[in-house]
Amino acid sequence: MQPRFVYTVDFEGKLEAALSKERLDTYREILPTGASFIDIIGVYNANTAVSEALIGSIQIMEISVRNSIHRQITKAYGSEWYLDNKLQLDREGARLIARLCSRYQNVPRFNNSESLSQKIVSELTLGFWTNLFKRQYEDPLWRKTLRFAFPHVGGPLTRGQVYEIVDKIRRLRNRISHHEQILRYDLNVYYNNIIDLVSWVSPVTAIWLSHHNRFYEVIDQYRETLSRVTRN
């Protein structure tokens, strides 16, 4: 077991200066009034550990979902669907694809359509894939292609439901990427949403992910610390 870390008043002051009072205030806000520095930094450490545990699961979700979307769009529009704006993307999406095409289409190792397509798909952001589930794509994309990206959903599924879940996870991922506090949210719901999305694409992958990820292990490790947190 790791030995208990001993804090002095001077050490606490220097640590808070390095991390910034503003950042630590977001942890003070979710603790009872008058929480000690040790309580605050304990919750900060728990946030770091839970974020680390979640980011790997989000990564698997993003890869699984984007690959499934890409397969369905390719069936309908061909492997070069990103060219000539065949999906009638909004300005932001079209601009992102144009930028990636400009960056890679003259690179020798991406000189064939398959390798170029794989590279572009791998670099399109989670925000790009999330936006494909907006209301404007109900008829041109969802009804014709995107609903088939989730072959194992096992019941009715609407475009709006997918958008709400994926966008919620995207925003959580962004908070983690910017080292922000995420403990005020019900992370069990987020984690279950991640597993659901993966299982709708590939039940085998969801089983594998559930077995190997550390989310519940970390939650259990910090259970006492997390019990002090006030959530939304």
Spell out the domain ranges in the chain. 37-42+52-77+129-226
Cα distances (Å, whole numbers) of residue 26 to 23, 68, 181: 6, 37, 7
Model confidence pTM above 0.85: yes
Give the angle 158-164-170 at the CA atoms, nearest 5°.
135
Would you call 156 helix, strand, or coil by DSSP? coil
What is the pLDDT, as a whole number, of residue 232? 64
What is the pLDDT, as a whole number, of residue 72? 95
Taking alpha carbons only, the member of 157, 153, 114, 150 closest to residue 129 is 150
What is the pLDDT, as a whole number, of residue 85? 79
What is the pLDDT, as a whole number, of residue 111? 83
Cα distances (Å, whole numbers) of residue 45 to 14, 48, 167, 222: 17, 5, 26, 9
What is the pLDDT, as a whole number, of residue 112? 83
- Is residue 172 a contact partner of residue 184, using CB atoms and an 8 Å limit? no
Under-70 pLDDT residues of the chain: 1-2, 232
φ/ψ of 176, rounded to 5, equals: -65, -45
